[in-house]
Structure 1
């Protein structure tokens, strides 16, 4: 798919560190919830803002404030400027911060594509947004076999007299979505206040790094280390680290908005359907998350099945008893078994995995089947997140082997549209790490409280089918 022509001109390349001497050399241990993320490609996010000023104004006035505020924020979120130290077996990996460690910051000018097109909801070539994503610096290997990996990179792209895009890439081993968005909210607040970071001195606002609360339930650390040692042993031939192959298939990216009114109707309908069809005495709670995931999962399955039917001329010999899986991450902060505050910085996620037969999901009551299963899993995770975290690796292995899975990325709890650097609320948020086509990103609606935005990347044919399936499903409620 031929995209519009555009030009990217690099204006500045720098490294930003915390104020000199503000953070002592620090070593942070990695927990059994950090280690499984080593094989993952970097997390990539884009924040688009309106910025009706010329390049000269940005370079002379805005960039110094943006850079200074990043430096002050890194004083509190120093692991993002640190390095991942990855020794060979039987040693353990860790995060090492040394005074002067920094984050690469690239500033670029973009001309060509219209910002309105870049931030639109309708389907666009999925590669259109790739120029705004920073690349992490290459990893290095010491003579004694220790791998050193950078953690974060920043790229700021200016659209003359129109807008600004802040592109972020970070290694998931160091921070999950909640921790990373805590950093982004803090950075934007410091920037908006022209360098006032005193609020981060408050205990309730600054990141929490103590790993003591994790312990080692049922040998989780040992199992996670085995996975890490296998990864590091097989990784050494490729110093590029985990990367994502760019598919040659013509894929498109689109965002779908569920309004508060639509979600309210869906919740009412699904609640009634679950009560009428349930053999269980236990009532399930149908939340906004549940209805959004339910309808999107079913529409995605149908779009993929439609593509299979077309490509095989209707000869789909896939068994109706085949299990299809949905994966979502549950934040374990402040949950039973995890005595960690919401400001804990690191990974604190347990995998919520649902499976159901293809025949049930593709049937007339597919959304009901999905909704009940998701609601039950959400309730289980309220008190059983620790157990799910412990058995997560084996459950994930089963899911990935199936070849039929959809993962949910993001959360409305991130409040991404509250991140104001002083230029107003974001025009659009995009998560580029969903480009493999097996994930949905889910965040709160920009335009109304109670609404949801769901973004995904599919082939053109699948996206057409998804759009049609979603429109048809919403008409039924």
Structure 2
């Protein structure tokens, strides 16, 4: 296999279309400023091209539509700087006529594994497809890379997070894509930073207590052998996780947490990631910590008083930092803990955000490692059609450096979520071994016949009184009956919606279509 080779063919500056826009200075808010120390967000969109695709015309259309989109999103063509003459260390986004976004056209010679695959791939092979931000405080850069061996195009977009959050950046991408495809673009952005009040003086507090480069080293790191892979959770799998969590809560006598599909997915990934980290560290002779931290962004637009418009271009998110201590346990016990902690963290971040101690809290948990989240299924990145089809794969390449989990709607399936994970080889292998939704240990299958699709389980607390009358249909999904003192359960669907004890008993059936299961009495 030849060594991957990226050739830069052309780099131009794309400016906003139409008459020159006036010079503008847009102040950063307290939501924006603490992102200044973090690396930019890098996304790569992989597209398949038709054999007769006109590449010169396609690239020209991308540039022209980018220019049109930048007219509405002109701050992204500017630069972040220290505000001249400010009494304290204030930053703003400064736009002057002639400012623009670097647009690079490249060609990638690569004959290895498909870069748009879900399987583990070398981060170094993908990272070249995302452009670097030029110096001087640039906020946005774009790179269109032709993948000739696979008749594809990789569209890399790099954005400084201090300019806007994921909702703002993907609104820009949807506007650009719709303009290029000749479709109706979304509503234009709202750029007025005066919508964000700062009655507590949070900007100055954050600016004085930003994470230093030394502290950031524990969060932002990239081993040379780092891998990237994507794991998908279907709608049925997400439902099974929710059911396992609810069933475990009932067994503990607890109120089940508010477990949305996103909370279920994040709770499951957190458990798998923690156990993978533990296995790798134990093999290396370390890992004594039992406490683990998780952070996800909460959009405060709708919760602000007054509410901030959904199309606001800027940051309006804050982290929900969650801490757990029981994730090393197998099965539904750790799932319940993770999902309950995440759900409670979101509720707290919405109802009573602790803005005044946010930086201190981040510095407190950063040295021990925090699994964070990048992206959201709400951004609909797989619907970004520039006129040559939807992307076959979307990667947030920057998670390889930050250690975050990249979250998106599932591009291959109609329902479900996909999670991008980046780990060293040993950690990736450990994660893959654990990344299969399993019921609690009491329900784990101990023998299986692939030929007959039958599954044998034992559970000491099964008694005849727990079983419905013979041949009774439960919710048109399960048929229970005794035969030769053996309970037989037949499943006629891949999704169980009942919250009964029988569903929890048969949670392992979620993944098996039209199978029979026999559970022996103790």
- TM-score (ref. length: structure 2): 0.78
The structural deviation recorded for 1:189 is 0.4
The structural deviation recorded for 1:159 is 1.9
| Distance verdict in 2 for CA 1:106–1:214, change over 3 Å | same
Aligned residues: 433
| Distance verdict in 2 for CA 1:397–1:255, change over 3 Å | same
| Distance verdict in 2 for CA 1:382–1:153, change over 3 Å | same
Mapped partners of 1:207, 1:266: distance in 2: 37
Mapped partners of 2:77, 2:100: distance in 1: 5
Q: Where do 1:54-65 residues align within 5 Å?
A: 57-59=54-56, 61-65=57-61
The residue number in structure 2 matching 1:354 is 322
Find out whether 1:165 has 2:165 as its counterpart. Answer: no
Mapped partners of 1:347, 1:472: distance in 2: 34
The residue number in structure 2 matching 1:12 is 10
The structural deviation recorded for 1:187 is 0.3
The structural deviation recorded for 1:246 is 4.4
| Distance verdict in 2 for CA 1:275–1:220, change over 3 Å | farther
The residue number in structure 1 matching 2:193 is 211
Mapped partners of 1:394, 1:405: distance in 2: 14
Relative contact order, higher structure (CA 8 A, sep 6+): 1
Mapped partners of 2:83, 2:27: distance in 1: 13
Q: Where do 1:146-165 residues align within 5 Å?
A: 149-160=137-148, 162-165=151-154
Give SS of 1:101's match: coil
Residue number among 410, 413, 425 corresponding to 1:445 in the alignment: 410
Moved more, 465-474 or 8-17: 465-474
Give SS of 1:374's match: helix
RMSD: 2.4
Q: Where do 1:236-275 residues align within 5 Å?
A: 246-248=222-224, 250-275=225-250
Find out whether 1:120 has 2:117 as its counterpart. Answer: yes
- Stretches of structure 1 lacking an aligned partner (at least 5 in a row): 140-148, 236-242
Mapped partners of 2:221, 2:132: distance in 1: 14
Mapped partners of 1:299, 1:256: distance in 2: 11
Are the aligned partners of 2:298 and 2:350 in contact in 1 as well (CA < 8 Å)?
Answer: no
Give SS of 2:45's match: strand
| Distance verdict in 2 for CA 1:437–1:350, change over 3 Å | closer
The structural deviation recorded for 1:392 is 2.1
The structural deviation recorded for 1:29 is 0.9
The residue number in structure 2 matching 1:341 is 309
- Stretches of structure 2 lacking an aligned partner (at least 5 in a row): 445-507, 509-522
Find out whether 1:222 has 2:168 as its counterpart. Answer: no
| Distance verdict in 2 for CA 1:442–1:30, change over 3 Å | same
Residue number among 389, 400, 419 corresponding to 2:366 in the alignment: 400
Q: Where do 1:78-227 residues align within 5 Å?
A: 78-86=74-82, 90-113=88-111, 117-139=114-136, 149-160=137-148, 162-193=151-182, 199=185, 205-227=187-209
Are the aligned partners of 1:437 and 1:456 in contact in 2 as well (CA < 8 Å)?
Answer: no
Find out whether 1:294 has 2:260 as its counterpart. Answer: no
Are the aligned partners of 1:214 and 1:338 in contact in 2 as well (CA < 8 Å)?
Answer: no
Mapped partners of 2:336, 2:19: distance in 1: 57
Residue number among 8, 11, 33 corresponding to 2:31 in the alignment: 33
Q: Deviations over 1:119-139 (max 9, x none)?
A: 111111121101211011123
Residue number among 389, 398, 404 corresponding to 1:424 in the alignment: 389
Structure showing the higher helix proportion among its residues: 1
